[in-house]
Amino acid sequence: MEHAPGWLINSLIYLSAAVIAVPLSKALGLGAIIGYLAAGIAIGPWGLGLVTNVQDILHFAEFGVVLMLFLVGLELEPKRLWSLRRPIFGWGTAQVLACTLAIFAGALALGADWRLALVAGMGLALSSTAIALQVMGERNLLPTRSGQSAFSILLFQDVAAIPILALLPLLGQSLEPNQASAQGNTALAAIKIIATIAAIIVGGRLALRPVFRWIARSRTPEIFTAASLLLVVAIATLMLWVDLSMALGAFLAGVLLAESEYRRELETDIEPFKGLLLGLFFIAVGMSIDFGVLLASPGVVAVVVLGFLALKGAVIWWLARRMALPFQERPVFTLLLAQGGEFAFVVFQAASGAHVFPPATASLLIGAVAVSMLVSPLLLVANDRLVLPRFANCNVPQLDEISEQQEAPIIIAGFGRYGQIIARVLLAQGMHPTVLDHDAEMIETARKFGYRVFFGDATRLDLLRTAGAATAQVLVLAVDDVEQSMEVVELVHAHFPQLQIVARARDVGHWNRLREKGVQRVERELFESSLRSARSVLELLGQSPHTARQTAMRFRQHNLALFEKMHPHFRDQAKLIAVQREGRQQLEEQMAQERTEREKARVRGWEGSAPS
């Protein structure tokens, strides 16, 4: 080991820490980010001390954030980005200015120098793009209104970082000669920035597609991957040359390629690198927490962290109300944007270099930001477990449970996508079922479209009686939750034996459990639609519509018969697998024989039609 190169040993340390900490964190329900941060703390200077060159690793790992913004840009076509211009520059400006002013006022009230208060306000107003987008990706929040709003604000923060850094030399208490000359070259710097962005936009429009087309013709996958990484590295280098955000440049490049025919291949090539480097970035953030500063002034750090989280949280909650975001989405939206961001590290280090405040103050502020990034995922977990369950029904229309006795011959329990189709078929036949569902928002929407839906939980015996279960003939069981559907079956069998059940099964396990309870009419929710899609595939591959239909119907009959044969053994996995394999082999042999017979019949037809 003493002759092993340093990069190899560090790679071993990083990967080992991540492999141990992340699955453990996920198993505890804390999420992957907490695992990465904990791994960084453990192997960093204040943990086991296995890694000491934290800043070098942090700078390298920031490339993970760059790759992430490039992939986000690939998902946003220019037209869609243009449609977000108002949220980006409207709500983004409001968030940065309002949070800066709130923190600035709070720092002045505590007696801080106005320069320190202003720079602290500007730096702490920025949020962690890496953590926010990672969390939104894990929770599938990006397509939601709150996800789109948060992304717009984060994008504006990347833009706002440019004037913030440009302002720092002007706030310096003792200007160095090179800083004074830099002020004189402001116009030249602005020209460089405009020219760089214009070059990215024009080059992306005119050059990137022909270049990727030329590379793709080589039919060398690894070269295409290398070209993808080269594109991102080159743009990041170009943005650094003019002191702009690397992530912003990568995002612009991604947007310009969003309509390209190579978009999916670019995503596939870059995704693995993005995941690894982003994980390394979080590890580096954990290692960069200076516990020496935190232990020297724990009270000050606590005041700074709690103070700016509270002020930012209040401002962002107010913005969420003004943006009319759904009440249940506001806590996550607020927590994602209230934390400090990785760009604050750059702002505070630059402020220290410009002599706005001493290095010790910069270290304290950087430590406070790192702590906020560490605390934020924990607050999200606490929000999920403690806050959201209590306020899940806030601002949701409250409906009275079904109270009037119903006498319809059909009851539909569950009015989701499955129950709605059944109800529409019945209504078209002049039959009016009694429909029960416990989602108040869905019921309000259904009533607007003229459906007669009652609020009620079908697992409650009293509500089933009121819905007319004692006299009804058929219960359509379309409840989403598997356990709830099983409860309804037990209630019906115990108290309403005359009621015939037509049930929807989410999967094979649910189908077997329903059949075990004696429910004979069970349909797997995706089975029939999947068969129709299979027919379409066969037709596209050259089979006639009649042959494709016959093939699908034969598979359907065989599959249903096989399920009946497998059902008695569904708790014996070994026997179940044996029966399934035997059935699959029989089907393949049968289908092969039918194909041979069709081919012979086709040949005979040719021979019969041939001229004598």
Determine the average pLDDT of the residues in 64-91: 72
318, pLDDT greater than 80: yes
Structure tokens at 379: 């607050």
> What is the pLDDT confidence band of residue 199, given thresholds at 50, 70 and 90?
confident
Strand, coil or helix: what is 37?
helix
What's residue 97's pLDDT?
Answer: 92
pLDDT of 603 above 80: no
The string of pLDDT tens digits covering residues 542-574 is 888 888 888 888 888 877 777 777 777 666 667
| pLDDT at res. 101 | 93
| In the block, residue with structure tokens 């697992």 | 459
Mean pLDDT of 256-273: 71
DSSP per-residue letters across 260-275: STTHHHHHHHHHHHHH
Report the chain's mean pLDDT, rounded to a whole number: 77
CB 359 within 8 A of CB 135: no
Confidence class for position 176, pLDDT limits 50, 70, 90: very low
Please tell me the predicted confidence (pLDDT) of residue 182.
Answer: 45
CB distance 1 to 9 below 8 Å:
yes
Residue 608 sits at φ, ψ, to 5 deg, of -70, -30
Q: Would you say 235 and 256 are in contact if contact means Cβ atoms under 8 Å apart?
A: no
Longest dimension (CA), the chain: 109
Most confident stretch, 67-71, 78-82, 525-529: 525-529
Q: How far is Cα 17 from Cα 50, in angstroms, rounded to an integer?
A: 11
pLDDT attached to residue 243: 67
For the cut 90, the answer to whether the pLDDT of residue 266 exceeds it is: no
Contact residues for 87 (Cβ-Cβ < 8 A; gap 6+):
148, 149, 152, 153
Q: Assess whether pLDDT exceeds 90 at residue 528.
A: no
Query: In what helix (H) or strand (E) does residue 472 lie, and over which residues does it extend?
Result: none
CATH no. for 396-525 = 3.40.50.720
Tell me the β-bridge partners of 454: 436
Of 87-96, 263-272, 462-471, 522-531, the range with the lowest mean pLDDT is 263-272
**From-to residues of CATH 3.40.50.720 in the chain:** 396-525
Cα 159 from chain centroid (whole Å)? 23
Neighbours of 127 (CB within 10 A): 29
Instruction: Provide the pLDDT confidence category of residue 262 given band limits of 50, 70 and 90.
Output: low
DSSP SS3 for 467: coil
- Contact, 258 vs 73, CB < 8 A? yes
Answer for the pair 414, 373: CB distance below 8 angstroms, yes or no. Answer: no
Written as six digits, the tokens of 547 are 């042959």
Percent of the chain with pLDDT over 90: 3
Predicted confidence band of residue 188 (pLDDT cuts 50, 70, 90): low
Tell me which residue has tokens 């009440």: 327
| pLDDT of residue 197 exceeding 60 | yes
pLDDT in tens, 381-439: 787 777 766 665 555 555 555 667 788 888 988 888 788 888 888 888 888 888 888 77
DSSP 245: -
